Amino acid sequence: MRIDILTLFPEIVEAPLRASLLGKAREKGLLDVRVTNIRDFAHDRHRTTDDAPFGGGAGMVMKCEPIFEAVESLRDENRLDRIVLMSPRGRRLDQALVQELAEAGDLAVICGRYEGVDERVSQGLCTDEISIGDYVLSGGELPALVLVEALSRMNPGVVGKWESVETDSFYSGLLGFPQYTRPREYRGMAAPDVLLEGNHALIERWRRKEALRITKQRRPDLLNNLQEDDRKLLAELVREESESNRENTSERVG
Ligand code: SAM
């Protein structure tokens, strides 16, 4: 999979692409991410890439010609299976979309700036518009990095152990379970004994149950398509919670 990020500000994306897991994955050739400066495709001597909006109004709009030409310049190296415009009005990024794109082939990711991008980019060039959430940032560079990093985790070589992806929030269908490390006790808060007793079957069961507990509290909408084993664990959890509520109530009344 090759990903090309197209931006007016390459410096915003370059440092994060060199750091940590992304940087290592690129060095090892597991991830082919390149950056193209849209300004290199401006035609005039001032290298203009934005202009005032037709109809008036605040701010500037990114011109369409440099963006079309920048994307087209990649055709020999990138199959351009999906051409994505990062945009607050796009489809909201979630794990299902990350998985869909990870299987889609090569991507070009266009970062908007200013008041946005001439509509003809979305209309005549892009296959997708993707938002990272219902808020507005000043540019598409950070959203593009969010997308690239999420995609990178779908490549089994990038994250040291594939198991850590499988147990991630959303990938497993639930939110992630709680994690602890040394010290065993800190400021009166102790790590659960089960994690230190070495019984792997019990540890796995505890983790799945905790993932269910947290998902039930914070994102009950994710519990709709549970497998049989998870349904049983959830029922057990609900029983335990209502027993503990009953006990608390009778202690208070008593
Ligand atoms: N006027 C635009 C609107 O109301 O939809 C917002 C433009 S924003 C200031 C500039 C650029 O930042 C956008 O073209 C887009 O590329 C990027 N951007 C901002 N928020 C985003 C988000 N939530 N998701 C993805 N991209 C975003």
Q: Which domain holds residue 16?
A: 2-152
Residue 38: band (very low, low, confident or very high) from pLDDT cuts 50, 70, 90: very high
Q: Which amino acid is at 182?
A: R
In a domain, 60, yes or no: yes
Q: Which residues contact 24 (CB under 8 A, 6 or more apart)?
A: none
- pLDDT tens per residue, range 5-22: 999 999 999 999 999 999
What's residue 96's pLDDT?
Answer: 96
Residues with CB under 6 A from ligand 1: 86-89, 111-113, 115-117, 131-133, 135-140, 143
Q: Which CATH number goes with the domain that contains 229?
A: 1.10.1270.20
Cα 143 to averaged position of ligand 1 atoms, centre (Å): 9
Q: How many domains does the chain have?
A: 2
Give mean pLDDT, residues 201-230.
Answer: 96
User: Do both 29 and 129 map to the same domain?
Assistant: yes
Give the pLDDT of residue 249: 86
134, 87 contact by CB (below 8 A): no
Do 226 and 136 reside in the same domain of the chain? no
Same-domain status, 189 and 239: yes
The one-letter code for the residue type at 3 is I
CA 198 to ligand 1 centroid distance, Å: 49
Ligand 1 centroid from CA 131, angstroms: 8
Q: Write down the pTM of the prediction.
A: 0.93
Q: Give the mean pLDDT of 68-72.
A: 98
List 51's β-bridge partners, or say none: 61
32, 65, 115, 149: the active-site residue: 115
